[in-house]
Amino acid sequence: MIIKIPIENLNLEFIKKFLSSKSIVKISEKKKGKISKARNSLERIIEKGNLVYGVNTGFGALVNKRISKEEIKKLQYNLIVSHALGEGEYFNKDIIRLAIFLRANMLSKGYSGVRVELIDALLNLINKDIIPCVQKKGSVGASGDLSPLAQIGLVLLGKGKVFYKNKILPTKEVFKKEKLKPFVLDIKEGLSLINGTEMMSAFLGYLLIDIEHIFNLAKEISGLTTLLIKGNKKEFDIRLHQLKPYSHQIETAKIIYDYLNLCDFKETALQDPYSIRCQPQIFGSIGETVDFAQKILEIEINSITDNPVIIDNEIFSGGNFMGTSLALAADLLGISITLLSLLSERKIFYLTSGRHPDLPIFLIKEPGINSGLMMPQIISTALASENKILSYPASVTSLPTSANQEDIVSMGMNSLLKLEKIVENTKTILAIEILCISQILRLTELNFKEKPKIVKIIEEKIPYLEEDRELQEILSKIKNLFFWRINSEERNTIN
């Protein structure tokens, strides 16, 4: 498939398709004129001797340092090599590939004053599957994602390392194999490579796809858990939830109610614990946050985040590179997914505690000689507790940078790095809830009118624990069965 940029209305569905494909990306011939027009405007302004930030001045606190005509190209080279400093492990290559696409798409809209050749050079990395190695830590999400985007820019210069044919190799070596030459940056082009929010946007988009999947799966798990403990149907009657009409609350109540109608049973209690009874209300609130974060992402990836920009042949210097919106979205998601993990942990505790009259403690036939699911419950508590710690918002932890010229920053990348850990912890907690469900399905007698897909997968793929055995492999298998991965083989998922 060939994608032509710029695309004006990017959304999460497009990101899903892009991540799962190996499309070739090209600049639309119709748009090259606008890109060149902005470039010509920039060159005329510079020829007149006007000061333009980052073109003939230094950067950040060095804004008042004028750069001579002879040195303005070197300035762009120096910017990339000096800013390409990161820390920690590398991003998933799919996130980096998406970030390159988003930056190229933004530049191709014709507000940055870069040459068509620079955008082509970025697209060449995507089209030849030469993906820069970019470290996760180092961005404060303010003057754009300076550190990670500079590490992408470094590869254009023939430096750094890349993912290439399932290996990590020096860029120089790969360029030689592919007969590519290092790109020579011209005025403003180094700055336009790094002044933007595309690394945070790509990261958030990737995590949102994961979160959407987890959220939908968790609703189904809730329905099955509620059925297995013989929950009170009236708690999930749609007439009740229409009185508090959050869309995700109503949807979750309907899912749980439908599960409760899959079997005939006598309800266990007049009122179930909050972790059962209030599931729709909790899911309703979480869903609102997920929707909000998607809205923020879609505004951001359709925005011009460069600085300065050319509008109607004038130069405008502002702050569209500030990642505050993404930071807040990621922090709110972190809090919401933590809440989801706490809900699941409480259900796991209820299922394994021996409180339910039909269920043995730790969901094992002979407790005492067997510990059953004692340890998985402890693991869920440890991870939920870690999520509580991680859910403290990074967006309120600003520290000044660049000699106080950049005196407030978004810390959006830190918000996203925390969110990534919260998401992974929550997957494990939900997998433990599925493990509990697996045991209960074998310990109780329920006659299904029709078995839902999740039950069929569990009965076919997850072993029953007659007695204690190693659980790590089983838990890993559950995660592999039920959780989404880019470019993975099709999973036996239920949604």
Catalytic residue among 50, 71, 89, 274: 274
At a CB cut-off of 8 Å and minimum separation 6, what does 178 contact?
Answer: 128, 130
Catalytic residue among 56, 105, 195, 414: 195
Comparing C-alpha atoms, which of 149, 64, 65, 66 is closest to residue 103? 149
Half-sphere exposure of 102 (CA within 13 A, CB side): 38
Catalytic residue among 77, 246, 265, 277: 277
Comparing C-alpha atoms, which of 394, 397, 387, 368 is closest to residue 430? 387
Annotation marks residue 406 as catalytic? yes
Annotation marks residue 77 as catalytic? no
Tokens encoding 294: 């998607």
Can you tell me the distance from the alpha carbon of 211 to that of 241, in angstroms, rounded to the nearest whole number? 24
Catalytic residue among 235, 406, 420, 433: 406
Half-sphere exposure of 437 (CA within 13 A, CB side): 28
Annotation marks residue 277 as catalytic? yes
Q: CB of 199 within 8 A of CB of 92? A: no
Annotation marks residue 97 as catalytic? no
How distant is the alpha carbon of residue 21 from its chain centre? Answer: 18
Catalytic residue among 321, 350, 362, 483: 321
Can you tell me the distance from the alpha carbon of 351 to that of 381, in angstroms, rounded to the nearest whole number? 14
Tokens encoding 98: 């998406």
209: how many CB neighbours lie within 10 A of its CB?
Answer: 18
Catalytic residue among 11, 43, 53, 492: 53
Comparing C-alpha atoms, which of 129, 123, 122, 100 is closest to residue 25? 123
Q: Which amino acid makes up residue 41?
A: S
Annotation marks residue 469 as catalytic? no
Catalytic residues: 53, 83, 195, 274, 277, 321, 406
